[in-house]
A and B are shown apart, each in its own frame.
Chain A
């Protein structure tokens, strides 16, 4: 990019109040329609969760950390709870692990649907797909309400297992929802991936080569969209992922279309995982009671979980009190946002491409702000 004198460069700010920017302000330096650099200005929803968690014991701590990504609550609560269990040195019963995997995969579907809809909206105000994805979340929310009691922030995971048992009555309803969802996935593919205008808007836009993806630190589906097969569920199987066979999905091209295709295929994969988890879920206890006032042994634990947006890690350090001494949360969106900000230096970006690229990374700014 030739160094433009500051006179010609126009800095546009997509403030927090902008149809396409969530809780973030994105500064874009453009010269006409060409984008010179993108600066995400985050921190608008910084609630200081890491400081708050130092004031909560391990059972209370699930509530604030779950609000980091409201769409994908279970995976984040899982990483917090697994870190606590690792320090306490206890292992939840088998049935609880299966229930956890089911709820985590449902959260992955909910989160990918949300990212999917926003990507459709970003490509050109294509309201139908965004509202379809909102409609297709309703059946899953009803199921979650039946199991955990609430639609979004479940607070269902507790160190030592799950809060309540998986009601066997809704097994058929669950499987029926999955069948319905697979027809809807077919409808998405016909209406969206075979739409010529969307292909012209998303294909080879924002190309991320594999070595750039690793160097800049892309996370989750964006990494796998460039052909790098890094998935914590396979590299370091937690809960019962080693007993479930599923495929790690990668796409070689690395453009916005590939990233969305990875998310789409991961939804298909999640449906398979849920089916297997429901079939061979053992009976037995669903929780090993751990009193919240129990003193944590001195020690530390770093738990990694594959959330819908990428790999999230919780590093919990305890000095013997009932409350953890320090909790460090490794947020995937902060890494994705850095990749987005380096995009104009890698490929040629037009102003109309910025929303397409930004929402192909599926950012969730509350996750970056903590």
Chain B
């Protein structure tokens, strides 16, 4: 009979063997980082919105400036009752909010935080893998909308499908511009190629299209049509309560995290940046986190400045304006690659 401490010792040396992998999965680009980012993003958005509305925002939850507010929300929701509508499809009703954050978090494993600090190299095709995984994400609002058997959610899930059509193609085309500049699909090589100059300068048009595509994919304000409170109560999240509702809210912020990380790797030179007092690994991660903070702050700023598009306007923007600009950006990339290769 295998004794208890034998099992423990074998598990321990398995962990010691590939310690780096466990740190990556559990700590930095993994679980702890995502949860901390979601908590901070929720607090930052509520405080930032309150400032824009000349208000104070959450204050008494954490004595200093309400920084424990998301934790208070989580504790309350954790003990709330989960209501499943009687004529809803039970299995799909539970499935959709559970898998959505998983899928969106899955895309973060491909993002390099340092030259050798990436969970899965993707054998040279990590950009295509990223788009393949994130292409699954709009599927789950459809399932949730259909399963909760409510008129608002059906309309909202159809709108998610429309929005995904409008935003996917411009995103892919602008990513093609970057691939032409570097000549490879591997995210690490893309970041290495930006050591001299970030791609936002030569591929500026592509950066704009990609940014608008991010807003549409992660359903941030000018494009938060599927979750339009004013028309369809809470979009496809209407019927969820308790921990399922918290999972859908987390999915929104994880989507924002994964798409802004991709924007940083493609256009803002990933982990490039001056090495700070001799520790390359930490400084690389530091630069990624700084760029991430700046980018998410800008995206959250949009919530206070813009009203919302109609779904037909969003599709018109996606097809009529973004795709031609993306194609023009591809031509510019080709010209830059052939005639002035020295810039990159």
Contacts and interface: CB of A to CB of B under 8 A. Distances in A.
B307 A120 contact: yes
A289 interface: no
A163 interface: no
Given A127-B49, A127-B304, A135-B54, A12 B152 contact: yes
B307 A352 contact: no
Interface stretch (B185-193, B270-278, B308-316): B308-316
Give the most central of A10, A123, A131, A350: most B CB within 10 Å.
A131
A355 interface: yes
Contact of B307 (A33, A198, A354): A198
Nearest 8 A/B pairs, CB to CB: A124-B308, A124-B307, A131-B53, A123-B307, A126-B307, A352-B310, A20-B230, A19-B229
B128 interface: no
A270 B35 CA distance: 52
Given A195-B306, A197-B222, A200-B309, A127 B53 contact: yes
Contacts of B309: 124, 197, 200-201
B231 A131 contact: no
A64 B152 CA distance: 38
Given A123-B308, A125-B229, A350-B312, 8 more contacts: A20-B229, A121-B230, A126-B307, A126-B308, A131-B54, A197-B309, A201-B307, A352-B228
A33 B311 contact: yes
Interface in B296-320: 304-313
B132 interface: no
B63 interface: no
B306 A197 contact: yes
18 contacts: A12-B155, A19-B230, A20-B231, A33-B311, A33-B312, A121-B230, A123-B307, A125-B229, A126-B307, A126-B308, A127-B52, A130-B53, A131-B54, A131-B55, A201-B308, A201-B313, A352-B228, A352-B311
B224 interface: yes
A208 interface: no
Interface of A: 10, 12, 18-20, 33, 120-128, 130-132, 135, 195, 197-198, 200-201, 350-355
Contact of B151 (A10, A33, A195, A198): A10
Given A18-B233, A355-B230, A128 B304 contact: yes
A124 B230 contact: yes
Nearest to A350: B310
Given A33-B312, A197-B222, A198-B307, A354 B231 contact: yes
A135 B52 CA distance: 12
Contact of A125 (B52, B53, B228, B312): B228
Contacts of A12: 151-152, 155
A195 B49 CA distance: 18
A132 B54 contact: yes
Contacts of B312: 33, 350
Contacts of A33: 155, 311-312
Interface string B129-166: 00000000000000000000001100100000000000
